[in-house]
Structure 1
Amino acid sequence: MANITLTIGGREFMLACADGEEPHVTALARMIDEKLAQAGVVGQTEPRMLLFASLMLADELHELRRRPPQAVTPPPPLPSPPAPEIPAVLVEELARIADHVENLADLLEQKAPNA
């Protein structure tokens, strides 16, 4: 357990929290202190400051809960990896095979009976 000192509304408060949570708890205390400053109630009695801070934070939470959930847009698709470069020898061989297949198709069309 860690002990930290928080300053809220001009007053210091000692608090114990879990080890490693000190920055988070300190940030929360800053939020409360800012709410009190916005309301102009800094320096009032502790219960009154607590009441104002609680009401303001509860109002914020209420407004957030009333908002419709925002649509989550999916991340853009990852770019396609570049196509592997086909060696020139294979390109030439594929072209030769394609020519041969076309020649065979022409021969078959010539020999096929007319429909």
Structure 2
Amino acid sequence: MAEVDFNIGHKSYTLTCQEGEERLLKRAAALLDTEAQAILAQAGRMPEPRLLLLAGLMLADRTTALEDRAAASERELARLKSNPQRVEVPVVPASLAEAMAELAARAEALAQKAEDQLPG
């Protein structure tokens, strides 16, 4: 077992965890401490149980909001997968393509004629 030291609010803690889980525990403690520090900045010093309760509730609220956003995104993705929108690519009509080819041929002919009239 590994021991991890961390601070939450105004108190130091030491917890044991499985080997390799130290980083996860430190990250979770840092999230809780961030919320606790925000509470302390607004309300000042308060009893440890109340601070931990409020910080935990704030994290739970944030987690719930993220879960709601993730669920909405998953529903939208499922909707798009089940009913993909039809995408139409404009096609140049054959008559317009022929007219453009004719114009290009005329332009080339005019360019050739102009070149032929150049001295030299």
TM-score per shorter chain, which class?
A: 0.5 to 0.7
Tell me which structure has the larger Cα radius of gyration: 1
User: Equivalent residue for 1:98?
Assistant: none
User: 1-side partners of 2:38 and 2:19: how far apart?
Assistant: 31
More helix by share: 2
1:18-97 correspondence runs (5 A) = 18-40=18-40, 43-67=45-69, 68-69=72-73, 71=77
Q: Over the residues paired in the alignment, what is the CA RMSD in angstroms? A: 1.9
Report the alpha carbon displacement of residue 45 of structure 1 after superposing the two structures with TM. Answer: 1.2
User: Equivalent residue for 2:88?
Assistant: none
1:9-20 correspondence runs (5 A) = 9-20=9-20
Give the structure-1-normalised TM-score. 0.55
The answer as to whether partners of 1:42 and 1:49 remain within 8 angstroms in 2 is no
What is the DSSP-based 3-state SS (H/G/I as helix, E as strand, rest coil) of the residue aligned with 2:49?
helix
Give the structure-2-normalised TM-score. 0.53
1:2 aligns with 2:2: yes
